[in-house]
């Protein structure tokens, strides 16, 4: 793996230097996003690697775009090495429980004393304070307390949306937004600050439209009664004859009219009136019969490219090859791994995928040298930093 200098990296964040204290879930995703957009991110791993690994490090898409440096954070010299990196950085992000970096000697006060313009991004589930701040939790717990889980799914039970809503939507995206906002302030004033990104806060913020609907009595707050949550038959999913599904999203009258016309042209012209709520059960039942009469491919051919707002529910493994995604390059194969391309897209400073994910500590020597650290050989010699063989995960070289 060749470590590129920040000036050579593509993307709108070229020249921004980030220290990532490696964790799991939303922290790595945020670091991946910053790296995708051109930031020069150095990932500080513990020599033993992360506590939870869903895949080998070199196959973990969220580890792409940045080198892995293994540092002993239990040693004074290891902490001093991280602080040396902090002095050279614009941003630090960490995802430990509140108080952990303070106990390590890497808390905000210490880091901001060494680098007053630093943006110190903190990613937690519950936030840095509050009665639950020091409790363990996972995505499903955070979105539960924030009010984001109860509305999801049918009336019978809540349905959790992978960890998209909490970890990555309410977590990573808000950490990145906060970091970039604080970076703008820092570059204008020289004043750094701490960004407290809590998943509970982010999920609550994402619920702005749901709160509006509930507060204005458009929705009573119960699961299955929201028009976007399964209450209406013209915004729902329907099984096809081959056991697949179609999504129907004809909320606006003009889009539903397009749906009705296409179905009528196909021989299904007897749909109950959607404008009469007393007929919604009958409409849903009829739509189930209609969609169950043909395959997903047949329905896709009928509706594709129209304004009917009807689309196939595509399995993830097939989404890689869906013609629209292929045309836009939404998924790409990079270093033998199929993965989502950087998003969003920029006209003047396009982002590109750079280096593939690394094994823990595989880039220690090269990355520390690229960041201008002195006596790298000495740091490796006394175990402060660990260089592993890129081909033998966890084996010191």
CA dist 54 → 17, 36, 85, 249, 298 (Å): 27, 21, 28, 34, 37
Give catalytic residues, as residue numbers.
138, 167
Name the phi and psi angles at 103, rounded to 5: -65, -30
**Under 8 Å between Cβ of 290 and 248:** no
> Alpha helices of the chain — where are they, by DSSP H?
26-36, 76-88, 100-104, 108-114, 139-146, 173-189, 199-206, 208-215, 253-265, 280-291, 296-303, 316-319, 323-328, 364-370, 376-381
**Under 8 Å between Cβ of 384 and 376:** no
Q: Are strands 91-94 and 68-71 parallel, antiparallel or unpaired?
A: unpaired
CB-based contacts of 305, cutoff 8 Å, min separation 6: none
Residue 270 C-beta-side C-alpha neighbours within 13 Å: 6
Separation between Cα atoms, residue 238 and residue 311, nearest integer Å = 11
| End-to-end alpha carbon distance in the chain | 16
């Amino acid at each position: 793996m060749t470590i590129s200098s920040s000036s050579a990296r593509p993307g709108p964040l070229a020249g921004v230097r980030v220290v990532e204290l490696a964790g799991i879930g939303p922290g790595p995703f945020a670091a991946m996003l910053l790296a995708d957009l051109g930031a020069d991110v150095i990932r500080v791993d513990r020599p033993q690697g992360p506590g939870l690994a869903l895949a080998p490090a070199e196959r973990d898409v969220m580890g792409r775009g940045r080198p892995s440096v293994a540092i002993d954070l239990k040693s004074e010299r290891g902490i001093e090495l991280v602080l040396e990196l902090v002095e050279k950085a614009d941003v630090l992000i960490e995802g430990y429980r509140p108080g952990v970096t303070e106990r390590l000697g890497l808390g905000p006060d210490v880091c901001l004393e060494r680098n007053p313009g630093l943006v110190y991004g903190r990613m937690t589930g519950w936030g840095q304070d509050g009665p639950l701040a020091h409790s363990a939790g996972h995505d499903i717990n955070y979105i539960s307390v924030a009010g984001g889980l109860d509305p999801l799914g049918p009336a019978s039970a809540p349905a959790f949306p992978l960890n998209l809503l909490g970890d990555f939507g309410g977590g990573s995206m808000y950490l990145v937004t906060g970091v970039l906002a604080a970076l703008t302030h820092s570059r204008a004033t020289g004043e750094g600050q701490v960004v407290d990104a809590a998943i509970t806060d982010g999920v609550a913020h994402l619920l702005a439209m749901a709160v509006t609907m509930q507060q204005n009595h458009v929705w009573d707050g119960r699961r299955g009664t929201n028009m976007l949550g399964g209450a209406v038959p013209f915004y729902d999913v329907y099984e096809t004859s081959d056991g697949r599904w179609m999504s129907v999203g004809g909320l606006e009258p003009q889009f539903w009219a397009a749906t009705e016309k296409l179905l009528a042209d196909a021989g299904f012209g007897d749909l109950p009136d959607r404008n009469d709520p007393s007929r919604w059960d009958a409409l849903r039942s009829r739509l189930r019969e209609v969609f169950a009469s043909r395959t997903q491919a047949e329905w896709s051919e009928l509706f594709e490219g129209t304004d009917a707002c009807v689309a196939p529910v595509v399995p993830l493994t097939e989404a890689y090859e869906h013609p629209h995604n292929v045309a836009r390059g939404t998924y790409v194969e990079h270093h033998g791994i199929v993965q989502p391309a950087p998003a969003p897209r920029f006209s003047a400073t396009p982002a590109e995928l750079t280096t593939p994910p690394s094994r823990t500590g595989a880039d220690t020597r090269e990355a520390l040298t690229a960041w201008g650290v002195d006596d790298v050989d000495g740091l490796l010699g006394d175990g402060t930093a660990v260089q592993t063989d890129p081909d033998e995960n966890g084996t010191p070289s």
